Amino acid sequence: MVDDRARTLEVNDATYAAWNAHDADAVAAVFAEDAVTRDAGSADVAVGRAAVRERAEWLFAAFPDLRLERVDLVIDGPRHADRWVLSGTHSGDLLGLAPTGRPVRVEGATFTVLGDDGLVAEDHHYMDLAGLLTQLGAISS
């Protein structure tokens, strides 16, 4: 990779733009065909662009007004970590919960590794799931 920092910024900016445009194909486009994604607290490992696209579509259905804001970005060669805030209105099925119509604001972080091709090879997501479930009324605070 010619310039890790420039490529990381390009990929990260494209990712946020895609999420905020609600474009699942554009979200998936920054990932390698065999990219691996993991969500903390889940044993599931998703592999490939199709899995990334499916996750984006699922979140867009759950939060049709989803907004993703980057709070911080730390770059270390082909690796980076970004802290983010997801906000939106719960209007679709999420984790078995029927739509509540409640607004949410959830903090999280993603740790990413770019491959030699400049695409995302690995993504590890950490989200305040307890905070999300509390805001949706699924658990008490």
The neighbour count for residue 71, using CB atoms within 10 Å, is 11
Residue type, 125: H
CA distance 81 to 68: 15
The pLDDT mean for the chain works out to: 94
25 token code pair: 């194909």
What's the pLDDT score for residue 141?
67
* C-beta separation of 109 from 126 below 8 A: yes
CA distance 83 to 110: 7
In a domain, 32, yes or no: yes
In a domain, 140, yes or no: no
Kindly indicate the confidence band of residue 125, based on its pLDDT and cuts at 50, 70 and 90.
very high
In a domain, 11, yes or no: yes
* C-beta separation of 40 from 130 below 8 A: no
Which of helix, strand or coil describes residue 141?
coil
What's the pLDDT score for residue 1?
43
In a domain, 93, yes or no: yes
What sign does the dihedral 109-49-26-42 (CA atoms) show?
negative
75 token code pair: 């770059």
- Mean pLDDT over residues 91-101, rounded? 91
In a domain, 102, yes or no: yes
In a domain, 141, yes or no: no
Domain assignment of residue 63, given as a range: 4-135
Query: How many domains are there within the chain?
Result: 1
141 compared with 10, residue with greater pLDDT: 10
What percentage of the chain exceeds 70 in pLDDT?
Answer: 98
Q: Report the CATH number at residue 20.
A: 3.10.450.50
CA distance 104 to 138: 13
Beta bridge partners of 105: 87
The neighbour count for residue 65, using CB atoms within 10 Å, is 11
What's the pLDDT score for residue 95?
84
Over residues 20-78, the pLDDT tens digits come to 999 999 999 999 999 999 999 889 899 999 999 999 999 999 999 999 999 999 999 99
Which of helix, strand or coil describes residue 43?
coil
* C-beta separation of 120 from 113 below 8 A: yes
